[in-house]
Amino acid sequence: MTPLDPVTLSFGAALMLGLSYGSGPCNIACLPYLGPVLMNSSEGIRGAWRALLPFSLGRLSGYILLGSGAGALGLLVQDWIAQPWVHWLLGGATLLVALSLLWRQRRAAVCCRPAHREEPVNLAIVGNAVARKATLPGGLFLMGTGMALNPCAPLTTVVLAAATSANAAAGFSLGLGFGLGAVIIPGLIFALGVAHFGNQVRQHLWQWRRALDNASVGLLLLLGTGTALGWITP
Residues 97-117 have pLDDT tens digits of 999 988 887 776 655 555 444
Residue 2 in any domain: the answer is no
Q: What is the largest CA-CA distance in the chain?
A: 74
Closest CA to 93 of 164, 25, 143: 143
| pLDDT more than 70, % of the chain | 79
Residue 180 in any domain: the answer is yes
> Confidence band (pLDDT; 50, 70, 90) for 68?
very high
**Structural domain harbouring 48:** 11-228
* pLDDT greater than 80 at residue 44: no
pTM above 0.85, yes or no: no
The pLDDT, as a whole number, for residue 172 is 96
> Torsion-angle region of residue 74: left (phi > 0), alpha (psi -120 to 50) or beta?
left
> What is the total count of domains within the chain?
1
Residue 52 in any domain: the answer is yes
SS3 9: coil
> Confidence band (pLDDT; 50, 70, 90) for 209?
confident
Read off the pLDDT of residues 166-204 as tens digits, 9 standing for 90 and up.
Answer: 899 999 999 999 999 999 998 888 887 777 776 666 666
Residue 6 in any domain: the answer is no
For residue 136, how many C-alpha atoms fall within 13 Å in the half-sphere facing its CB? 22
What is the enclosing helix (H) or strand (E) of 121? none
* pLDDT greater than 80 at residue 142: yes
The pLDDT, as a whole number, for residue 1 is 41
Q: Report d(CA 153, CA 172) in Å as an integer.
A: 19
The pLDDT, as a whole number, for residue 5 is 56
Residue 233 in any domain: the answer is no
Residue 172 in any domain: the answer is yes
Residue 84 in any domain: the answer is yes
Closest CA to 142 of 85, 78, 80, 213: 85
Residue 128 in any domain: the answer is yes
* pLDDT greater than 90 at residue 40: no
